[in-house]
């Protein structure tokens, strides 16, 4: 994991709305970004791009999976991780 500045493993986000079936917004996405890389997500509308970035920035919590930025676990160390990222939607 130390080879990657950002490491995401099996990130998943499921939305639950009362009376409706659960909707999977992101389904087990994994990737790594090395220092100095410029990273973007491409895909059709509804593919989960915005949701993935919302999970990485702490705007929404993933349903499962793990993510680290600069070695900081986003589930337990989001404040520290946020000091090392920038995001332009």
Whole-prediction pTM: 0.88
Whole-number pLDDT of residue 89: 76
In a domain, 24, yes or no: yes
Residue-number span of the structural domain to which 61 is assigned: 6-82
Instruction: List, in sequence order, the alpha helices (H) in 1-89.
Output: 49-57, 78-82
In a domain, 77, yes or no: yes
In a domain, 40, yes or no: yes
In a domain, 87, yes or no: no
For the chain, the domain total comes to 1
Give the closest residue to 16 by CA, choosing from 63, 51, 52: 63
pLDDT in tens, 46-55: 999 999 999 9
In a domain, 1, yes or no: no
């Amino acid at each position: 994991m130390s080879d990657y500045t950002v490491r995401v493993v099996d990130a998943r986000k499921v939305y639950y709305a009362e009376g409706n079936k659960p909707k999977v917004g992101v389904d087990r996405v994994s990737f790594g970004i090395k220092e100095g890389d410029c990273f973007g997500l491409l895909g059709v509308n509804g593919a989960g791009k915005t949701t993935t970035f919302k999970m990485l920035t702490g705007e929404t919590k993933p349903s499962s999976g793990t993510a680290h930025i600069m070695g900081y676990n986003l589930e337990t160390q989001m404040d520290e991780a946020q000091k090392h990222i920038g995001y332009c939607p």
